[in-house]
A and B are shown apart, each in its own frame.
Chain A
Amino acid sequence: MSLKSNLHTIKEKYKGTKMAPAFNALHTFLYLPNETTHNGTHIKAADDLKRTMNTVIMAMVPCLIFGMFNAGYQHHLALGVIDSAQGFLGASFWTWDNLVIGMWKVLPLVVVSYGVGLAIEFLFAVIKGHEVEEGYLVTGMLVPLIVPIDLPLWMLAVAVAFGVVIGKEVFGGTGMNILNPALTIRAFLFFAYPTWMSGDKVWVHGAVERDQAIAAGQNLDAISGETILGSYAQGQEIVYSYADMFFGIIPGSIGETSKLLIILGGLFLIFTKIGSWRIILSTLVGALSMGLIFNGVVDAGWITSSSKFFGLMSVPFWQHLIIGSILFGAVFMATDPVTAAQTNKGKWIYGFLIGFISIMIRVFNPAYPEGVFLAILLMNVFAPTIDHYVVQGNVKKRMKRIKVKTA
């Protein structure tokens, strides 16, 4: 008997029992179900929730693979084993050694993220007696992409458990959540374990260990893996070229460094009509406008170079898009259809404010070098309100039209 029919028999056996949802989920995840709907009106469509989720995951896989190479590359570069790659296709970047280190560090994060998250989803499905929802498929992939490489696995497990339960299940599960679960997880990590989520040590694998070795009295050079935003905030010189920033050969969270691959993923999402181009575009416009305002303030001379905000405010406005994770947030986080605004006009407002606030936090709050996740979470909360006013505005407009006609 094939695996499929085996699974089908098991499923039939457990039908009606408490564990049924768990087996159903396993079966339908791997295969097309044997049963089809016969009665009533139904739509036959390929783009169900699972397909949608898988498309997003496909869009993220390049970022993940690049993240592995980059993790290994940053590690080796910091140790001084290899030379700088001098560009995207540099010989010392796409090497087997880099990939092995990257896989060694990144894959456990992916496994823990999916393991803990799906276990909780299955648990809730069994307790509540509904089918397992696919909501965690994308979250589970997003989470490893937005954390630093050296994050201890147990912290990730705690954060995932928190994010899935508090961020999603208490609201009623997939499709009902107000906050983006992946960002809830990141926010939890950020506030719970700040030493592992920010600073100049966590972005390059090995820097923390090296620090501990130095503290223990060994005679070694410290490794610094400051992100570009961190360097700006502290007024240090930026050693990375624009090309490095764009292609992503810089320290940062695992999957958010390569702007090129994020743009490709974003185009793929727009092409498959899964990501909303309105949100992506308006987020970028919002970020650029805030950047322009800051540039204007600097140009007008309203702020002196002695101010601690001067460094980040004087960053050319377009450069805000290739440093930090605003692009990743815009493409993969803000577009989450559950937590974003639903109306077209609402999407423009929602996206614009995300970009606007992200850059504002980035510049003004040195404690949070990157404000994208906070901005998106904040706008997640406001999305239903935005939608409400857009819908009410529409109702009012139409009411007026009726009145004009009857008058």
Chain B
Amino acid sequence: MGLLSKKDAKLITDPLADNNPITIQVLGICSALAITAELKASLVMGIAVLFVLGIGNVVISLMRNIIPSKIRIIVQLIVVASLVIIVDQVLKAYAYELSKTLSVFVGLIITNCIIMGRFEAFALGNGPWKAFLDGIGNALGYALILLVVGFFRELLGSGTLFGIPVLGDPIEKTGLYSIGYENNGFMLMPPMALIIVGLIIWVQRSRNTTLIED
């Protein structure tokens, strides 16, 4: 990559696989369970976190030398909250239907552990450019898992992808449904997201055994 040095590129690629915020750092699990029943919601959530974390990391990084360490959590919260409000307002303006189902969870981005985790662990100790790349990388890693989980949950739970029926019509009994297939209602419940995340962790660690702790 000509644009980025090797070290900088690693900031983006690492969180996608071997240092994934969900499967390795085990952060941001709550939202991964809550909103992955549909791919569309997963995608919007991923983009929202990408925006908040990318900009938030830069802002915190710029202020890192002037934030008193005693009140740094409060400062971080204010930054996240302002960014989340922007996301929420944009969603309300341009994707009202979606914002109705997502607004609670968008609000909860404030408490998403990935964001606070990256502020604390990275932005407070690195320059804005690196912090930006780190934020983008982690948000992409988060979005990646969200999309994988959302793919399986929506496909097996509702038989659709992005709301488009791909397995036939369950009421008219066409496609797969004509031979007796039925949607798996368990997939739409949060426990199944936990199990799918667990399976992803299982696959990932059995392919790369260096990730296994103790």
Chain A residues at the B interface, C-beta cutoff of 8 Å = 152, 154-155, 158, 166, 170, 188, 191-196
Which chain B residues (1-36) contact chain A, with CB distance < 8 Å? Answer: none
Report the Cα distance A193→B195, complex, angstroms. Answer: 17
Contact B185 A194 (CB under 8 A): yes
Q: How many residues of B contact A (CB 8 A)?
A: 11
Contact A166 B185 (CB under 8 A): no
Q: Which residue of the partner chain B has the closest CB to A165?
A: B199
Contact B182 A155 (CB under 8 A): yes
The tally of CB-CB contacts under 8 A between chains A and B is 23
Point out the residue from B181, B185, B198, B202 that lies within 8 Å of A192, measured CB to CB. Answer: B185
Report the Cα distance A170→B196, complex, angstroms. Answer: 13
Q: A158-B184, A192-B187, A193-B182 are in contact. List 10 more A-B contacts (CB 8 A).
A: A152-B182, A154-B181, A155-B182, A166-B195, A170-B202, A188-B186, A191-B185, A192-B184, A193-B185, A196-B182
Q: Which 5 A/B pairs are nearest by Cβ-Cβ distance?
A: A192-B186, A191-B186, A192-B184, A192-B185, A152-B180
User: How close is B84's CB to chain A, nearest CB, in angstroms?
Assistant: 33
User: How close is B85's CB to chain A, nearest CB, in angstroms?
Assistant: 37
Chain B residues whose CB sits within 8 angstroms of the CB of A155 once the complex forms: 182
Is B44's beta carbon under 8 Å from chain A? no
Contact A193 B184 (CB under 8 A): yes
Is B189's beta carbon under 8 Å from chain A? yes
User: How close is B179's CB to chain A, nearest CB, in angstroms?
Assistant: 9
Report the Cα distance A188→B192, complex, angstroms. Answer: 10
Chain A residues whose CB sits within 8 angstroms of the CB of B189 once the complex forms: 191
Which chain B residues (33-84) contact chain A, with CB distance < 8 Å? Answer: none
Report the Cα distance A191→B184, complex, angstroms. Answer: 8
Which chain B residues (165-206) contact chain A, with CB distance < 8 Å? Answer: 180-182, 184-187, 189, 195, 198, 202
Contact A154 B180 (CB under 8 A): yes
User: How close is A153's CB to chain B, nearest CB, in angstroms?
Assistant: 9
User: How close is A195's CB to chain B, nearest CB, in angstroms?
Assistant: 8
Report the Cα distance A193→B170, complex, angstroms. Answer: 13
Residue of A152, A158, A191, A193 with most partner-chain B CB within 10 A: A191
Report the Cα distance A194→B184, complex, angstroms. Answer: 9
Chain A residues whose CB sits within 8 angstroms of the CB of B187 once the complex forms: 192
Report the Cα distance A219→B82, complex, angstroms. Answer: 64
